[in-house]
């Protein structure tokens, strides 16, 4: 049953029928998963970014779209999908609960980077080496 809901969620997302006030982080994760089920990563990113930009504009807040967060979360979801054996969306969701934490991306990026204008406009690579040196 949940799989059908995922297909419907994706169809509504791609058709622009989503109410931005009701589209939560969990929905972002599920739409990302569904897109990756159907498209290679670059195409999934194109569909996801287009849909999220549209939702932000529909909500009257185009500035909330964030390219780095969008691409980084999609990459995490894609990596998990390919490195695990999952029966379906429910199995994937149950075995990857950390993906439902909005702040997960902060484990890979410094807060100043995520707040930057450039990170909102284009994908910025995480800078792990610098962070590890600071901790030593």
The boundaries of the domain holding residue 33 are: 2-135
- Is the model's pLDDT at 6 over the cut of 90? no
What does the pLDDT read at residue 134? 55
Give me the sign of the Cα torsion angle 7, 93, 37, 71: positive
Based on the structure, what is the number of domains in the chain? Answer: 1
For residue range 71-93, list pLDDT tens digits in order: 999 999 999 999 999 999 999 99
Global confidence as pTM = 0.88
**Residue 42 has what pLDDT?**
98
């Amino acid at each position: 049953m949940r799989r059908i809901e995922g297909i419907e969620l994706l169809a509504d997302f791609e058709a622009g029928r989503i109410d931005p006030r009701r589209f939560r982080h969990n929905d972002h994760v599920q739409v990302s998963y569904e897109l990756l089920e159907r498209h290679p990563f670059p195409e999934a990113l194109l569909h996801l970014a287009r849909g999220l930009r549209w939702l932000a504009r529909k909500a009257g807040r185009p500035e909330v779209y964030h390219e780095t967060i969008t691409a980084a979360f999609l990459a995490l979801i894609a990596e998990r999908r390919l490195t695990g054996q999952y029966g379906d969306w429910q199995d994937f969701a149950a075995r990857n609960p950390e993906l439902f934490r909005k702040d997960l991306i902060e484990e890979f990026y410094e807060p100043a980077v995520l707040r930057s204008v450039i990170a909102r406009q284009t994908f910025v690579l995480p800078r792990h080496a610098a962070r590890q040196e600071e901790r030593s």
